[in-house]
Structure 1
Amino acid sequence: MKPFFLILVYLFAVTLPLILSAWVGGPPRQFHQELASGLGILAFSMILMEFILSGRFKAISNGVGMDVTMRFHQIMARTALVFAVLHPFLYQGTPTGGQRPWDPTRQLTLTTDFSALSTGIAAYLLLAGLVVMAIGRTQLDYKYEAWRLLHGIGALLIAVLLLHHTVYGGRYGSEPVMTWVWLVMTGVAAGSLLAVYVLVPLWQKARPWRVASVTQLTPKQWELTVKPEGHRGLDYQAGQFAWLNVGHSPFSMKENPFSICSAPASGAEVSFMIKELGDFTRTVGQIEAGTVAYVDGPYGNLSVDGRTEPGVALIAGGVGLAPLLGILRQMRLTGDSRKVRVIYGNRLIDQIAYREELGEQDVVYVLSEPPETWQGETGFIDAELMDRVFSEKEISEWLFVMCGPSIMMDIVEDHLIKKGTPSHRILSERFSYD
């Protein structure tokens, strides 16, 4: 029921300005002009809601999961861009500027005040740029911290520009009721940034952590463990993730999301499995024990707690093992009676982490570039492998939890659904989103 409730809240928030604008009313106009205003109103309200979807709010990410949250965030941003693109062109043929005898209040006339139009044009261009930068972030290859900063500042600037354009250039936005509605909604959106970048860091400053150990797992993978200093630590479920900031101020942008690979039952220390990819991760091996750290979490709903399925399948690609390892460790520590089977895929044999801990029983190792002496599965985690590892009964009854590259997860998810696995028995978390 929680995802359904959150969807209803979203739909209410997005359509509220549109409903109120219709209620405020005004002299009737041609359909294409009303459609233009409607699309502009929806685009603005959807953009403001993007602040909430992209903010670190546990009620959302823990309620529906990060996969759903981020995918919805992306789709709505692109939809808002389409609405914004169509918005000005639908006004074709509408009188502009000056007084008209039939329109003494100018309610049927578009403004030609450049200050009111310029903010809309600027927001229009910024929104397109922001969406393109988000889609092409990997190809553009700029620092994650720089992208976060540009994304946040750009989104806030778009909201402010649209507020000015809507109130001073819009037919409905200039109405006192609508002006207040837009002011409140923009304030809430900006407040979400304030919460993430000011209030959360203030809370973190009072709850520091210290690096307990840094252990090399493979040539490019590490386990970093932190321990709470002066507080009880993190109340989390196995499989969740947190934002980790090591060696910087809690107000620094240099924090990154990592899945927790430790188990809650193992104690207050929290461990993260980290692969060398970006600027921070390439320096993990240089971090010294005792370095101050800050942890914001937990987030996500990749958890098997409270599930009643007779078995749990953990399917990992590369460093996607991290949250699934946390789940496996928790199940072993608590004596969970459910059957469990692990599929763990990598490219090379020296990329396999925690092999001694994982063991060989009920664990299937897959290598896409195996050595000549390799006796395990080869190739990729695909439909054929799934059918070899799991019976028809297991596919229809077990819970499938997966984390790894998008292509692997798309293939596995599609196959499971095709074979009859209900969608609520498939939990997934991706590394990135296109």
Structure 2
Amino acid sequence: MKPAWLIVAYLAAVALPLIVSWLVGGPPRPFREELASGLGILAFTMILMEFVLSGRFKSISNGVGMDVTMRFHQMMARTALAFALLHPFLYRGAPSGGQRPWDPTRQLTITTDFSDLSTGIAAFLILPTLVLLAIGRTQLDVKYETWRLMHGIGALLVAALLLHHTIYAGRYGSLPVMTWLWGAMTGMAIGSLLYVYLLVPLRDKARGWRVTSVNRLTPKQWELTVTPDGHSGLEFKAGQFVWLNVGHSAFSLKENPFSISSAPSAGPEVSFIIKELGDFTRTVGQIEPGSVAYLDGPYGSLSIEGRDEPGVALIAGGVGIAPLISILRQMRLTDDPRKVKIIYGNRLEDQIACRDELDAEDVTYVLTEPPQGWQGARGFIDAALMDRVFSPTEFKEWIFVMCGPAIMMNIVEDHLIARGTPSSHILSERFDYD
């Protein structure tokens, strides 16, 4: 699906409850009360849409890129949080006491029943916690799988609380047409969770994989290879990634995203370059051949398939070489005639992966802590280095594909734009957003 259509679809979905409320809601109240209700409606709608923007729907994430999808997911979550926090403070006075027969249309008060307000108050307290935990999860000493489960349950709880609060405490939510609309949209959000956590595992369970080899590439990097178990394999583009689950049930939350390092044309086996960083990755070397594995994917848009630029620049930092080596391998297997230049940055020389393969290419190695006698580039991948590697014509005509630490990609992207590289010629994949 094209990015423009995705934006239109998102805006239409977010605006729908607001428009319907305006059409069927009766006489307007003072502006401040209408603004309060409007912000509440928008916040709830955006929260429900967050379930769809989770990154696990290929028609969305593959259309605009996983990094764009997840960044948008984060931005909209914070915007919804701001609307939700502001919403109750715009109403005049705190509703309390018994029934108020002089206000049958709820133009002066929302409700007088604390049980109807309490679900909104609970959501008001849980939502900021959910967003703050997402922002700071990398600083927390919590396993990724644990955080993911907490995030999913918390989001589901917030949606259920807000559905009750909106229908029973809202002026517009109690209208029959709005009750049906909110129910349908909440059902869609819950359905997206069922798709990710039930339907996808059911599908993957029938398409299992087996680990064929686990080889050490560098002191802390491994190449893990899996082969399809009774099926034809995975159709993917060079540069894409999958969610990999090794040694667990298809329904397990113990899955992690890894870029594919093998080429689509190399056969049914799929390989990954995995660096020891977290709980799972530190145990990769202990995985036994024959272990069961499940792949959910492919995802991502870091692909040069169908592109016709005269040259390809591959810029990697650390384990970011994984999707780029897949692209390079695919180009060589398909006899792609285009010229390729590679910049590959690491901290130490023994962290360079696939060196024998890369030495056959036009490659520039960059080390921040080079050994004595190092003949390659020193320091970081920066503007000066890029100006030495690429000509003015290459900056303007080639396609630049990069993957690595966020600070490296920020520097590279900024310099490419400054040197006149069209934004459509810059492909990047980010896995950290804050």
TM-score clears 0.5:
yes
1:75 is matched by which residue type in structure 2?
M
1:328 is matched by which residue type in structure 2?
L
Gapped regions of structure 1 (runs ≥ 5): none
Structure 2 match to 1:64:
64
2:384 is matched by which residue type in structure 1?
E
Q: Would you say the 8 A contact 1:218–1:353 is kept in 2?
A: yes
Shift of 1:215: 0.5
For residues 236-277 of structure 1, give each alpha carbon's deviation from its aligned partner in whole angstroms, at most 9, with x where no partner exists: 000000011001000001111100000001000000110011
Q: How does 1:126-275 map to 2 (within 5 A)?
A: 126-275=126-275
**Which range is displaced more, 149-158 or 380-389?**
380-389
- Partners of 1:391 and 1:35 lie apart in 2 by 55
Kindly indicate whether residue 386 of structure 2 is the aligned counterpart of residue 386 of structure 1: yes
Kindly indicate whether residue 85 of structure 2 is the aligned counterpart of residue 85 of structure 1: yes
- Partners of 1:332 and 1:241 lie apart in 2 by 20
Q: Would you say the 8 A contact 1:260–1:270 is kept in 2?
A: yes
Alignment size in residue pairs: 434
Shift of 1:308: 1.1
CA RMSD of aligned residues (A): 1.2
Shift of 1:133: 0.3
- Partners of 1:105 and 1:363 lie apart in 2 by 72
- Partners of 1:95 and 1:344 lie apart in 2 by 62
Shift of 1:198: 0.5
Secondary structure, counterpart of 2:105 in structure 1: coil
For residues 156-189 of structure 1, give each alpha carbon's deviation from its aligned partner in whole angstroms, at most 9, with x where no partner exists: 0000000000000011111000011110000010
Q: How does 1:26-41 map to 2 (within 5 A)?
A: 26-41=26-41
Shift of 1:386: 1.1
Shift of 1:96: 5.3
Shift of 1:106: 3.0
Structure 1 match to 2:279:
279
For residues 86-145 of structure 1, give each alpha carbon's deviation from its aligned partner in whole angstroms, at most 9, with x where no partner exists: 100111347655455652333431213111111111111111001000000011121000
Structure 2 match to 1:317:
317
Secondary structure, counterpart of 1:244 in structure 2: strand
**Which range is displaced more, 90-99 or 153-162?**
90-99
Q: Would you say the 8 A contact 2:55–2:70 is kept in 1?
A: no
Q: Would you say the 8 A contact 2:259–2:273 is kept in 1?
A: yes
2:260 is matched by which residue type in structure 1?
I
Structure 2 match to 1:334:
334
The alignment's TM-score, normalised by the length of structure 1, stands at: 0.98
For residues 166-222 of structure 1, give each alpha carbon's deviation from its aligned partner in whole angstroms, at most 9, with x where no partner exists: 000011111000011110000010111100111111111111100010010001100
- Partners of 1:401 and 1:94 lie apart in 2 by 55
Secondary structure, counterpart of 2:181 in structure 1: helix
Secondary structure, counterpart of 2:428 in structure 1: strand
- Partners of 1:94 and 1:229 lie apart in 2 by 62
Shift of 1:384: 1.2
Shift of 1:344: 0.4
1:26 is matched by which residue type in structure 2?
G
Shift of 1:45: 0.4
1:227 is matched by which residue type in structure 2?
T
For residues 50-91 of structure 1, give each alpha carbon's deviation from its aligned partner in whole angstroms, at most 9, with x where no partner exists: 000004100011100011101100100000000011100111
1:42 is matched by which residue type in structure 2?
L
Q: Would you say the 8 A contact 1:96–1:110 is kept in 2?
A: no
- Partners of 1:295 and 1:29 lie apart in 2 by 53
Shift of 1:423: 1.1
Q: Would you say the 8 A contact 2:210–2:290 is kept in 1?
A: yes
For residues 338-386 of structure 1, give each alpha carbon's deviation from its aligned partner in whole angstroms, at most 9, with x where no partner exists: 1111110000001000000111531110001101111000100111111
1:49 is matched by which residue type in structure 2?
M
Secondary structure, counterpart of 1:54 in structure 2: coil
- Partners of 1:232 and 1:36 lie apart in 2 by 55
**Which range is displaced more, 414-423 or 125-134?**
414-423
Shift of 1:388: 1.1
Runs of 4+ aligned residues of structure 1 deviating over 2 Å after TM superposition are: 92-108
The alignment's TM-score, normalised by the length of structure 2, stands at: 0.98
1:117 is matched by which residue type in structure 2?
L
- Partners of 2:53 and 2:361 lie apart in 1 by 41
Kindly indicate whether residue 354 of structure 2 is the aligned counterpart of residue 349 of structure 1: no
